[in-house]
Amino acid sequence: MIELVGLTKYYGDKLAVDHLTFTVRPGIVTGFLGPNGAGKSTTMRMMLDLDNPTSGTVRIDGKHYRQLQDPLTYIGALLEAKAVHGGRSAANHLLCLAQSNGIARSRVAEVLDMVGLSTVAKKRSKGFSLGMAQRLGIAAALLGDPQVLLFDEPVNGLDPEGIHWIRNLMKNLAAQGRTVFVSSHLMSEMALTADHLVVIGQGRLMADTSMKDFIHQNSRSYVRMRSPEQQRLLDVLHTAGINAVAVGNGSLEIDGVPADRLGELAAEHRLALHELSPQQASLEEAFMQLTAESVEYHAHDGDPVPAQAGLSPHTRTPAEPQSAGAAPGEPQPTGWGADWQRKRS
Ligand SMILES: Nc1ncnc2c1ncn2[C@@H]1O[C@H](COP(=O)(O)OP(=O)(O)OP(=O)(O)O)[C@@H](O)[C@H]1O
Ligand SMILES: [Mg+2]
């Protein structure tokens, strides 16, 4: 469990994290969302004692990070994948971590196997691609077999198989009763992975709720109906006191009435329907709705923004929109092994 109470961080005048109070619970995957610059990485760094809070506290299973003996056996983290000594081999990098944290040598080969890097164990990590570096970072996080795991944008640079693998890895870790806290801008992935969400904007807590409630509370759900006899359908709905909005392309949108009731009503009046579909917004839509006001770094469509527009050269581009929502036929967790190398050889 990770507990934050009033956690606050200023960098000079810049308030990066603003009185965050929330608890990350074991047994579930908790997603950590927020626009660029919202304070996610800063919060995670403070959890790991890599940054000092200006005020407030963060506790890992009731203890401050500094009170943890052999911290990697309590909390594992992937923050910056490329933050490794490039001259060391993957195995040596992990061995150094193991030795300084009282972890058995044998664990190095185990975690390399878990992340699918066994065949490049002796290669220097400076030659690793981004995806391979991510895998090495994940191996380091798993090394101490910790109960608490933090992943800051772990799917960054991973190929589709790697993304699928890490999704299942996180779900399995949570199913084993561990605390899993993960940030990502890939909403479609988050929708498939996280059970609970913590959302921040400009350092402030905006939501701390289940995935289902988050989407429900921050988006509109309605039923779409299409009939070859649209006018008669409109009359039937009107007589039943139901408000329907014609949205072009022959569709009607109805808020606040279950699809079952609408279908029965159409059947009673022998009305043919070509569509009767409940529409639930995606996580991406709900997220954009909630955080629209707190987005600091906006990109502009079309030509590059001229200098006189007053935007800093550091203005960043938000992540590419992804279609969200639970994909049909989501694959079942298949275990830990990724065996990335074997599949490609
Ligand atoms: N070491 C630092 N020195 C000064 N300012 C910093 C430092 N680290 C972060 N910041 C500022 O703190 C704010 C929060 O940054 P942070 O990296 O935590 O955001 P984030 O939510 O992780 O963003 P992203 O989604 O882009 O990774 C930003 O305004 C950033 O510029
Ligand atoms: Mg970040």
Give domain status of residue 291, yes or no: no
The amino acid that residue 322 corresponds to is Q
- Statement: residue 10 has pLDDT above 90: yes
Do 146 and 266 share a domain, yes or no?
no
24 DSSP β-pair partners: 2
Domain that holds residue 337: 2-216+327-344
Minimal-distance CA residue to ligand 1 atom 18? 39
Q: What does the pLDDT look like over 96-124, one tens digit per residue?
A: 999 988 899 999 999 999 999 999 988 88
The number of the ligand 1 atom at minimal distance from the alpha carbon of 39 is 18
Judge residue 119's burial from the number of C-beta atoms within 10 Å of its C-beta, 0-12 exposed, 13-18 middle, 19 or more buried: middle
Do 78 and 115 share a domain, yes or no?
yes
Q: Measured between alpha carbons, how far is 168 from 181 in angstroms, rounded to an integer?
A: 14
Q: What is the mean pLDDT of residues 193-220?
A: 92
SS3 category, 214: helix
The amino acid that residue 97 corresponds to is L
Give domain status of residue 295, yes or no: no
Do 161 and 48 share a domain, yes or no?
yes
Q: Is the CB of 11 under 6 A from ligand 1?
A: yes
Q: Measured between alpha carbons, how far is 199 from 32 in angstroms, rounded to an integer?
A: 6
How many angstroms separate the alpha carbon of residue 5 from the centre of ligand 2?
21
Give domain status of residue 72, yes or no: yes
Minimal-distance CA residue to ligand 1 atom 16? 39
CATH number at residue 226: 3.30.70
Minimal-distance CA residue to ligand 1 atom 17? 41
Backbone phi, then psi, for 60, in 5-degree steps? -105, 115
Minimal-distance CA residue to ligand 1 atom 5? 11
> What pLDDT, on the 0 to 100 scale, is given for residue 208?
96
> What pLDDT, on the 0 to 100 scale, is given for residue 191?
93
Using only C-alpha atoms, what is the Rg of the chain? 24
pLDDT band, residue 87 (cuts 50/70/90): confident
Do 126 and 197 share a domain, yes or no?
yes
Do 233 and 91 share a domain, yes or no?
no
Do 77 and 146 share a domain, yes or no?
yes
Do 66 and 186 share a domain, yes or no?
yes
Give domain status of residue 312, yes or no: no
Q: What percent of the chain has pLDDT over 90?
A: 62
Judge residue 206's burial from the number of C-beta atoms within 10 Å of its C-beta, 0-12 exposed, 13-18 middle, 19 or more buried: buried
How many angstroms separate the alpha carbon of residue 39 from the centre of ligand 2?
7
How many angstroms separate the alpha carbon of residue 185 from the centre of ligand 2?
10
Looking at 202-295, which runs of residues are DSSP E strands?
204-210, 222-226, 244-246, 251-255, 275-279
Contact 37, 53 (CB under 8 A): no
Do 102 and 240 share a domain, yes or no?
no
Closest ligand, as measured to the CA of 199: 1
Give domain status of residue 86, yes or no: yes
Q: Measured between alpha carbons, how far is 310 from 277 in angstroms, rounded to an integer?
A: 46
7 CB contacts (<8 Å, ≥6 apart)? 17, 19, 20, 21, 43, 46, 53, 55, 56, 57, 58
Give domain status of residue 308, yes or no: no
Q: Is the CB of 289 under 6 A from ligand 1?
A: no
Domain count of the chain? 2
Do 266 and 336 share a domain, yes or no?
no
Do 227 and 96 share a domain, yes or no?
no
- Statement: residue 224 has pLDDT above 60: yes
Tell which of 247, 264, 279 closes a domain: 279
Computed over every residue of the chain, the mean pLDDT equals 84
Q: Is the CB of 201 under 6 A from ligand 1?
A: no
Q: What does the pLDDT look like over 242-285, one tens digit per residue?
A: 999 999 888 999 998 999 999 999 999 999 999 999 988 789 88
Q: Measured between alpha carbons, how far is 200 from 250 in angstroms, rounded to an integer?
A: 39
Q: What does the pLDDT look like over 144-155, one tens digit per residue?
A: 999 999 999 998
Q: What does the pLDDT look like over 42-83, one tens digit per residue?
A: 999 999 999 999 999 999 999 999 999 888 999 999 997 666
Give domain status of residue 320, yes or no: no
Q: Measured between alpha carbons, how far is 176 from 148 in angstroms, rounded to an integer?
A: 11
Tell which of 279, 297, 315 closes a domain: 279
CATH number at residue 48: 3.40.50.300
Do 227 and 209 share a domain, yes or no?
no
Give domain status of residue 309, yes or no: no
Q: Is the CB of 38 under 6 A from ligand 1?
A: yes
Do 207 and 338 share a domain, yes or no?
yes
